[in-house]
Chains A and B, each alone.
Chain A
Amino acid sequence: MPLALFAEQVLNGLQFGVMLFLMSAGLTLVFGVMGLINLAHGSLYMIGGFICAAVAAFTGSFLLGLGAALAGAAAAGVLVETLVIRRLYARDHLDQVLATFALILIFSEGTRWVFGSFPLFLDVPDLLSGPVSLPLGIQYPAYRLMIIVVGLLVALGLYLLITRTRLGIRIRAGESDREMIAALGVDIAWLYTIVFALGAALAGLAGALVGAIQSVQIGMGEPVLILAFVVIVIGGIGSVKGALIGAILVGMTDTLGRFLLPQFFATFMENTSATTIGSSLASMLIYILMAGVLIFKPQGLFGGAS
């Protein structure tokens, strides 16, 4: 197998993983700080994609679209948090699941109402449309490389935010004891809104970035949402570090599995059935990985005993 092709798949896996991290970071923060399981996180991803596509088509600028997606998703996050989510913190997980499932129905159908059922297309900005040459003679699309860089920068930014800033201290304090920090005079409602909006903005960013590679359509957030759940189950719920490592692990496993498994089966089987079995197995691989992690660490790789 040519090395360049393999390296390209590794980069694809990394890009997928980084994108999953943008989704899972918000999900895991919201769970860690507020104890909330949010199924509507995928809707925020979808909103990011739609806003970016609409604004980019209107103004002709991808960057403006990206900015609008960030702001719009954060605004949607604030709105949803203050209207609905806030009432759910004290409820059990069942109520949270149902209410956020209801939000998915409202968001998906609402988006269909506004934008119609047809997918929107978002062009990669001209500056990033070509390939870049990397060492070892690898040609890789500049845009995908940019996603990897943006994702890693966000990871670094989140790390600095959580470990080095006052807001980060409050977030960590909120994770360990919410009554205590409320008693110490931190406005807990405001903190929760900020954290939720932050997670929403990250999801919106992911949706906008991915929108230029795939099409922007209703329901685009749900497959990603479920992968993000797999990521945070593997990484440990509430751990941003776990989300990063879990996301890259899942991204790599999925991409390389789809690439390598059919080839592996082809070494001792005829071609068509090797492709069938290989790709069917590849589509289940990350769930098998998750089951494997659960057998040895039921709380995930970096999850504390909760």
Chain B
Amino acid sequence: MIKETDLNTAIWLLFLGVPLAAWQMGEIYTITLATKICVLALAGVGLNIALGLGGMVSLGHAAFFGIGGYAMGILASHAQSYAPIMETPFLIEGTKSMPVIWVLAIIMSGIAALAIGALSLRTNGAYFIMITLAFGQMIYFFAISWPAYGGEDGLSIYVRNDFPGLNTLVPIQFFALCFAILTAVIFLSSRLEHSRFGMALQATRQNETRTQAVGLTPYKIRLIAFVISGMICGLAGAVSADLNRFVSPTMLSWHTSGEIMIFVILGGTGRLFAPLVGAAIYIMLEHFLGGVSDYWQIFLGLLLLMVVLFAPGGVIGLLTKREAAHD
């Protein structure tokens, strides 16, 4: 059987190699697909911290993904129209700078995750699933009914935002940027997993009572993890909005939450590279089956059902044959 770390290295190299080869051959569309996979995988890495490490089954992560997207949309649309966001009591203007947008996206989605997490984590099990779902829908309906930023139609941004030293309009450069972010976040999430905090988080998943008995507060640990997870999804949302140059309430809908969860599960819950593998499978299915049949989601549904019923460790679990770290 393949060792998981070897497999991870292979996956990482493959994801770097394919777009580079496509670049050499002038296959722009393949680079865009790979960028899309990177961005969606980033959201999956975020969810995996809550879901895989903390055992928090959140069906509301689209909220953070969408808030990140809207942070980008709002800032860039104001920069685009030269209208300041507010003038009193002090002047705030829009921006086209990616790093500034990312920081704000992370902060805003972190605040949302803190509020939603603080309320939702008072409950557990099925209640937690339904409540995160409901709060996600609350933000979704708010985005639809609030007309200032496009309401149901969403917001278009005409030119991709800037990153110092790069021309983000060139597909391979934007891919490199997204891949670098993904690699950095995967690295951070692996450090987190093996840190004292990560150990405590996994302990709350495995046995709450014992965690309390050794003097830890599960609520606080879960909340921090939930906020970190939401922040990463917010960052993913901002980058994804830049990839599509478009934000709409669809980013906030619970189907998006479900899809992010599918990435994690297809790959294998709790595994470091699961979101990347899962997102890749998902996008490939969409690309290839979508070309064959308009009803490709039936096959996605069947595949997902098979994975849940017969291969709980996901694809990485099948390849490494090690028990999945979820309970």
Binding site for B on A (CB under 8 A): 31, 37, 84, 87, 92-95, 97-99, 101-106, 108-110, 112-113, 222, 226, 229-230, 232-233, 237, 276, 279-280, 283-284, 287-288, 290-291, 294-295, 298-300, 306
Q: Known contacts A280-B146, A298-B123: does B57 contact A84 (CB below 8 Å)? A: no
B309 interface contact, C-beta 8 A: yes
| Inter-subunit contact B300/A226 (CB<8 Å) | no
24 intermolecular pairs with C-beta atoms under 8 Å apart:
A31-B126, A92-B326, A94-B57, A94-B269, A95-B308, A95-B312, A99-B305, A99-B308, A102-B302, A102-B305, A102-B308, A108-B297, A109-B301, A112-B295, A229-B133, A233-B127, A279-B145, A280-B146, A283-B141, A283-B142, A294-B119, A294-B122, A298-B122, A298-B127
Q: Known contacts A226-B137, A230-B134, A276-B147: does B302 contact A106 (CB below 8 Å)? A: yes
With both chains docked as a complex, state the minimum distance between the C-beta of A294 and any C-beta of chain B, in angstroms. 6
CB contact between A102 and one of B51, B57, B304 (< 8 Å): that residue: B304
With both chains docked as a complex, state the minimum distance between the C-beta of B289 and any C-beta of chain A, in angstroms. 11
Chain B 306-327 near chain A by CB (<8 Å), digits 1 or 0: 0011001000000000000011
| Inter-subunit contact A291/B119 (CB<8 Å) | yes
Interface of B is mostly: helix
* Assembled-state Cα–Cα distance A284/B308 (Å): 33
In residues 96-148 of chain B, which contact A (Cβ within 8 Å)?
Answer: 119, 122-123, 125-127, 129-131, 133-135, 137-138, 141-142, 144-147
Residues of A with C-beta under 8 A to B258: 101
Residues of A with C-beta under 8 A to B125: 93, 306
Residues of A with C-beta under 8 A to B142: 280, 283-284
| Inter-subunit contact B126/A93 (CB<8 Å) | yes
| Inter-subunit contact B304/A98 (CB<8 Å) | yes
With both chains docked as a complex, state the minimum distance between the C-beta of A73 and any C-beta of chain B, in angstroms. 19
Cβ-closest chain A residue relative to B136:
A226
CB contact between A93 and one of B57, B135, B147 (< 8 Å): that residue: B57
Residues of A with C-beta under 8 A to B298: 105-106, 109-110, 113
| Inter-subunit contact B59/A287 (CB<8 Å) | no
Cβ-closest chain B residue relative to A104:
B301
| Inter-subunit contact A226/B123 (CB<8 Å) | no
| Inter-subunit contact B304/A283 (CB<8 Å) | no
B228 interface contact, C-beta 8 A: no
With both chains docked as a complex, state the minimum distance between the C-beta of A108 and any C-beta of chain B, in angstroms. 7
Residues of B with C-beta under 8 A to A97: 57, 59, 129, 261
CB contact between A105 and one of B133, B265, B304, B312 (< 8 Å): that residue: B304
* Assembled-state Cα–Cα distance A101/B144 (Å): 23
B186 interface contact, C-beta 8 A: no
Residues of A with C-beta under 8 A to B131: 233, 290, 294
With both chains docked as a complex, state the minimum distance between the C-beta of B27 and any C-beta of chain A, in angstroms. 30
Q: Known contacts A109-B297, A110-B298, A283-B144: does B305 contact A84 (CB below 8 Å)? A: yes
Residues of A with C-beta under 8 A to B326: 92, 94
With a 10 A CB-CB cut-off, give which of A104, A279, A291 has the most chain B CB atoms. A291
* Assembled-state Cα–Cα distance A109/B327 (Å): 31
CB contact between A233 and one of B51, B134, B146, B308 (< 8 Å): that residue: B134
Cβ-closest chain B residue relative to A282:
B145
B201 interface contact, C-beta 8 A: no
With both chains docked as a complex, state the minimum distance between the C-beta of A110 and any C-beta of chain B, in angstroms. 6
Residues of B with C-beta under 8 A to A92: 326-327
Residues of A with C-beta under 8 A to B302: 102, 106
| Inter-subunit contact B295/A283 (CB<8 Å) | no
B243 interface contact, C-beta 8 A: no
* Assembled-state Cα–Cα distance A288/B147 (Å): 21
CB contact between B137 and one of A93, A276, A287, A288 (< 8 Å): that residue: A287
